[in-house]
Chains A and B, each alone.
Chain A
Amino acid sequence: MGAPQNWSAKLDELEKRIRAAREGRKPKRRRIRGEFTAAHMAWRMTLELVVGGLIGAAMGWGLDVLFDTRPVFLIVFVLLGMAAGIRTALRSAEELRDSQRAEEAAERDETKG
């Protein structure tokens, strides 16, 4: 009577070991870091600033042609586009700051552990 239980216990044991081994072999989710150098970030934000205004101008121009109201929409949308550009650039800056903080935290963990 003891044999089957023994087997199932052994099987459980084996199952556990397999799971542990699988877990260990799973590649750790490495953090993407250092992908964006300072120059890349600078270019990216500059472009975003400029592109925002351009997209706004294009949208305004299109609406003006549609409604025949040049230059009302053009003026309004250039301003809105600039705001959007600034917003995107700020968001990029935020992401950069967050990733730098996370990196610092990760390094601190590494030195601790």
Chain B
Amino acid sequence: MAAASDAGNGGLSIHPMDQFVVKPLFGDGPIGLFTITNATLWMALVVAAIAALLILGTRGRALVPTRVQSMAEMLYGFIHQMVTDVLGEDGVRFFPYIFTLFVFILFSNLMGLIPYSFTVTSHVAVTATLALVVFGTVIILGFIKQGTHFLGLFWPTSAPMALRPVLAVIEVISFFVRPVSHSIRLAGNMMAGHAVLKVFAAFVAPMSILGVLPLALMVAIVGLEVIVAIVQAYIFAILTVIYLRDAVHPMAH
């Protein structure tokens, strides 16, 4: 503990949230709409990594796939299976969209685990944008498929007339709840895991020899984080699919 108070002036200084700060890469100016920040950089890296896996990996088009090609194919097959399971054969037209969402989230989650990297999906701004795009798709699809009948979703016909306007407001709000809660869950999961890692990391050095304990815990948590990264990407994708199903086949419920 003496070492702890020696290190830095005034004891332990843990800054678990510093890793989430968005800062401009060039210069120190304020962040505008087109400022290139670390978030921009890591999103570009994520896209580059996906392109490398999917385009370069399958370039050979080998009948017997190479290791990289079979990774790309497994990823593709996995999501394809999921989409056809939930949406049926004609749901395949949504596949490119779902696949893009899944791969983007998966790669940003996983690449965020690289030390000194920036986790794009730890920001609600990013995940909420993804969720809002899904949300917009569902609304547009609903109107295309059902026309103004789509609005009937918000008008409970089983309630007495006096209550209907109030219930309609409640319905509209509850229509918004799901996408918002999805995005908050994804961002919250990523942020919490990374913050916990930072907190434990701060304990390693000051505890000298006993620092092995938090170090061992960190190894375990990193393993857990890998699982969380994959599971969260999957959950986001499957909830998107289910949400889409409700818009395409409203009677199925």
Given that A55-B173, A55-B176, A84-B173 are known contacts, is A48 also in contact with B88, CB under 8 Å in the complex?
Answer: no
Given that A55-B176, A85-B177 are known contacts, is A80 also in contact with B166, CB under 8 Å in the complex?
Answer: yes
Chain A nearest CB, measured from B232 CB (Å): 10
Query: Is the CB of B169 closer than 8 A to any CB of chain A?
Result: yes
Q: Which of these, B85, B88, B177, B185, contacts A52 with CB under 8 Å?
A: B177
Query: Is the CB of B4 closer than 8 A to any CB of chain A?
Result: no
Q: Are A52 and B174 in contact (CB under 8 A)?
A: yes
Query: Is the CB of A30 closer than 8 A to any CB of chain B?
Result: yes
Chain B nearest CB, measured from A30 CB (Å): 5
Query: Is the CB of B238 closer than 8 A to any CB of chain A?
Result: yes
Q: Are A40 and B235 in contact (CB under 8 A)?
A: yes
Q: Which of these, A30, A81, A87, contacts B85 with CB under 8 Å?
A: A30
Q: Which of these, B85, B86, B170, B181, contacts A51 with CB under 8 Å?
A: B181
Interface size class of B (residues with CB under 8 A): 20 to 34
Q: Which of these, A32, A56, A87, contacts B86 with CB under 8 Å?
A: A32
Residues in A with CB closer than 8 Å to B37 are: none
Q: Which of these, A40, A43, A51, A77, contacts B177 with CB under 8 Å?
A: A51
Residues in A with CB closer than 8 Å to B138 are: none
Interface size class of A (residues with CB under 8 A): 20 to 34
Chain B nearest CB, measured from A37 CB (Å): 9
Query: Is the CB of B180 closer than 8 A to any CB of chain A?
Result: yes
Query: Is the CB of B92 closer than 8 A to any CB of chain A?
Result: no
Residues in B with CB closer than 8 Å to A22 are: none
- Would you list which residues of chain B between 214 and 253 have a CB under 8 Å from chain A? 235, 238
- Would you list which residues of chain B between 169 and 204 have a CB under 8 Å from chain A? 169-171, 173-174, 176-178, 180-181, 184-185
B: which residues have CB within 8 A of A? 81-82, 84-86, 88, 166, 169-171, 173-174, 176-178, 180-181, 184-185, 235, 238
A: which residues have CB within 8 A of B? 27, 29-32, 35, 40, 43-44, 47-48, 51-52, 54-56, 59, 77, 80-81, 83-85, 87-88, 91
A selection of 16 A-B contacts at a CB cut-off of 8 Å is A29-B88, A32-B82, A40-B235, A47-B184, A51-B177, A51-B181, A51-B184, A52-B177, A55-B176, A77-B173, A83-B170, A84-B170, A87-B171, A88-B174, A88-B178, A88-B181
